């Protein structure tokens, strides 16, 4: 059953090979001072940086650069971004990059004019935004997080080993996002497939919860089947535009708040993965893949009917003459085989996790209770141990 909810997603998307040129329509809506946020040098090597700067110049904008956003944006970087935005009276933050860059841009947008410490107010205390928000636009160069059409913004504090995501309201969503599948072609294979699994994990975290009959579960099965099909093609042929365009679109809809509306969700794989990220700075999608099989085998007995449905509807397992447990397990076997075929990390030791870290990672894992079974501290340690296989 669909519970009560409200839904609004005002982000304007421009999708396709020529979509960057739509900056010409969007830029005039904002003031002259644009903060250009990006990560390392990849957008300079690919030429995207030059194209963006040219359009900003043509639009008569003053550009204030804020490069060096790291894969897991830190609280120190956030403070630096806030200073740049404030000192230059920035009117628009333009994020050019993947989910980390978009997340960081949104964190700066709510924090720049915050009179308290934004880490404390918006992350530790998770308060609502009550100060001025600087509008954000995104040019996406990597898919996975869905950050281009939602209010999520994850920030990491290495000192306290906390990686926290605040999901802000629709007034913080990007005003526009430019999605050109061809911009994702040059991503290194490791980051590409990590992004694919990030998408899959977003869908699974919202799927494996609840026992009702809910349209969102049917939509998610469709998204999963399309993702499994297209990711297999893209892993072999990274410049297959059809596959990459489908994946880019799935990523957006997997985490733009649609499929979670009116239903319960789990999110424990992300919580454990984020805690691993705080300890190891590992690539986000790989922290998810490495713990998923152990986590899903842990919760399967508590949500057997859904795992059986997953096996039949997503992995085409023939249920005839088999017990529910056997059907459900066969679904996970096929999922694991597929993950290994893609080349995902399936052992947390490969990410730098050691036995000594397990207790701390479990302690840093935020407990969510929407799934089939919320694991306690010791159970998280067991799941982590089972992820060292």
Residue 284 in contact with residue 194, Cβ under 8 Å?
Answer: yes
Q: How far apart are CA 380 and CA 276, in angstroms?
A: 12
In the bound state with a copy of itself, the residue whose beta carbon lies nearer, of 207 and 279, is 207
Residues 225-244 binding a copy of itself (CB under 8 A) are 225-226, 229-230, 241-243
Q: How far apart are CA 112 and CA 7, in angstroms?
A: 27
- Please calculate the CA angle 340-154-47 and round it to the nearest 5 degrees: 75
Contacting residue, 42, 111, 150, 246, with a copy of itself by CB under 8 A: 246
Q: Environment class of residue 262 by beta-carbon count within 10 Å: exposed (0-12), middle (13-18) or buried (19+)?
A: middle
* Contact characters 38-77, a copy of itself, x per CB under 8 A: ----------------------------------------
Assign 304 to helix, strand or coil: helix
Q: How far apart are CA 260 and CA 329, in angstroms?
A: 25
* Contact characters 252-281, a copy of itself, x per CB under 8 A: -x----x--xx-------------------
Q: How far apart are CA 356 and CA 286, in angstroms?
A: 20
Contacting residue, 89, 160, 171, 215, with a copy of itself by CB under 8 A: 215
By CB under 8 A, the count of residues binding a copy of itself is 48
Q: How many CA atoms lie within 13 A of 267 on its CB side?
A: 16
Report DSSP state, residue 366: P
In the bound state with a copy of itself, the residue whose beta carbon lies nearer, of 78 and 140, is 140
In the bound state with a copy of itself, the residue whose beta carbon lies nearer, of 26 and 66, is 26
Helix (H) or strand (E) holding 165: strand 162-167
Cα–Cα distance list, 24 to 21, 29, 38, 176, 180 (Å)? 6, 10, 20, 12, 15
Based on the shown chain and the rule CB under 8 A, indicate whether residue 29 belongs to the binding site for a copy of itself: no
Contacting residue, 218, 341, 349, 378, with a copy of itself by CB under 8 A: 218
In the bound state with a copy of itself, the residue whose beta carbon lies nearer, of 230 and 387, is 230
DSSP 134-193: --EEEEESS-SS-GGGS-EEEEEETTTTEEEEEE--TTTS-SEEEE-GGGGTTS-HHHHH
Q: Which of 255, 259, 241 is nearest to 15 (CA)?
A: 241
Q: How far apart are CA 35 and CA 46, in angstroms?
A: 20
In the bound state with a copy of itself, the residue whose beta carbon lies nearer, of 26 and 103, is 26
Q: Environment class of residue 60 by beta-carbon count within 10 Å: exposed (0-12), middle (13-18) or buried (19+)?
A: exposed
Based on the shown chain and the rule CB under 8 A, indicate whether residue 292 belongs to the binding site for a copy of itself: no
In the bound state with a copy of itself, the residue whose beta carbon lies nearer, of 221 and 336, is 221
Based on the shown chain and the rule CB under 8 A, indicate whether residue 374 belongs to the binding site for a copy of itself: no
Based on the shown chain and the rule CB under 8 A, indicate whether residue 30 belongs to the binding site for a copy of itself: no
Based on the shown chain and the rule CB under 8 A, indicate whether residue 150 belongs to the binding site for a copy of itself: no
Shortest separation between residue 313's beta carbon and a copy of itself, angstroms: 9
In the bound state with a copy of itself, the residue whose beta carbon lies nearer, of 177 and 387, is 177
Residue 220 in contact with residue 206, Cβ under 8 Å?
Answer: yes
Based on the shown chain and the rule CB under 8 A, indicate whether residue 3 belongs to the binding site for a copy of itself: yes
Based on the shown chain and the rule CB under 8 A, indicate whether residue 24 belongs to the binding site for a copy of itself: no
Contacting residue, 221, 281, 324, 359, with a copy of itself by CB under 8 A: 221
Shortest separation between residue 205's beta carbon and a copy of itself, angstroms: 18
Residue 194 in contact with residue 38, Cβ under 8 Å?
Answer: no
How long, in residues, is the chain? 389
Shortest separation between residue 13's beta carbon and a copy of itself, angstroms: 4
Contacting residue, 17, 57, 130, 347, with a copy of itself by CB under 8 A: 17
Q: How far apart are CA 346 and CA 330, in angstroms?
A: 18
Of 17-25, 36-44, 266-274, 327-335: span binding a copy of itself (CB under 8 A): 17-25
Note the residues at the interface with a copy of itself (CB under 8 A).
1-19, 22, 181, 212-215, 217-223, 225-226, 229-230, 241-243, 245-246, 248-250, 253, 258, 261-262
């Amino acid at each position: 059953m669909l519970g009560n909810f409200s839904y609004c997603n005002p982000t304007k998307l421009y999708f396709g090979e020529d979509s960057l040129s739509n900056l010409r329509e969007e830029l005039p809506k904002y003031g002259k001072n644009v903060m250009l946020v990006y990560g390392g040098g990849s957008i300079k090597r690919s030429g995207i940086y030059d194209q963006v700067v040219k359009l900003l110049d043509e639009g008569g904008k003053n550009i204030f650069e804020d490069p060096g956003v790291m894969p897991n944006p830190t609280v120190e970087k956030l403070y630096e971004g806030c200073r740049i935005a404030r000192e230059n009276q920035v009117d628009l933050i333009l994020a050019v990059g993947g989910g980390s860059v978009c997340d960081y841009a949104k964190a700066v947008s709510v924090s720049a004019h915050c009179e308290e410490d934004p880490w404390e107010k918006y992350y530790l205390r998770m308060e609502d935004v009550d100060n001025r928000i600087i509008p954000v636009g995104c040019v996406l160069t990597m898919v996975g997080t869905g950050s281009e059409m939602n209010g999520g913004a994850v920030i990491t504090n290495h000192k306290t080993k906390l990686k926290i995501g605040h999901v802000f309201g629709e007034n913080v969503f990007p005003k526009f996002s430019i999605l050109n599948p061809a911009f994702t072609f040059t991503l290194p294979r490791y980051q590409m497939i990590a992004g694919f699994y990030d998408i899959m994990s977003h869908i699974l975290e919202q799927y494996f919860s609840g026992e009702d009959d809910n349209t969102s579960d049917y939509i998610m099965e469709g998204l999963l089947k399309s993702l499994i099909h297209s990711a297999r093609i893209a892993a072999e042929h990274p410049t297959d535009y059809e596959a990459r365009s489908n994946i880019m679109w799935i990523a957006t809809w997997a985490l733009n708040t649609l499929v979670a509306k009116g239903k319960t969700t789990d999110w424990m794989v992300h919580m454990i993965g984020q805690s691993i990220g705080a300890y190891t700075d590992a690539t986000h999608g790989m922290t998810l893949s490495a713990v998923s099989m152990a986590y899903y085998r842990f919760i399967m007995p508590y949500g057997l009917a859904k795992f059986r449905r997953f096996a039949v509807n997503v992995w085409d397992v023939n249920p005839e003459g088999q017990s529910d447990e056997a059907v459900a397990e066969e679904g996970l076997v096929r999922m694991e085989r597929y993950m290994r075929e893609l080349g995902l990390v399936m052992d947390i030791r490969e990410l730098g996790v050691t036995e000594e870290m397990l207790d701390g990672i479990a302690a840093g894992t935020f407990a969510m209770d929407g799934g089939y079974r919320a694991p306690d501290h010791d159970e998280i340690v067991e799941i982590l141990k089972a992820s060292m296989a």
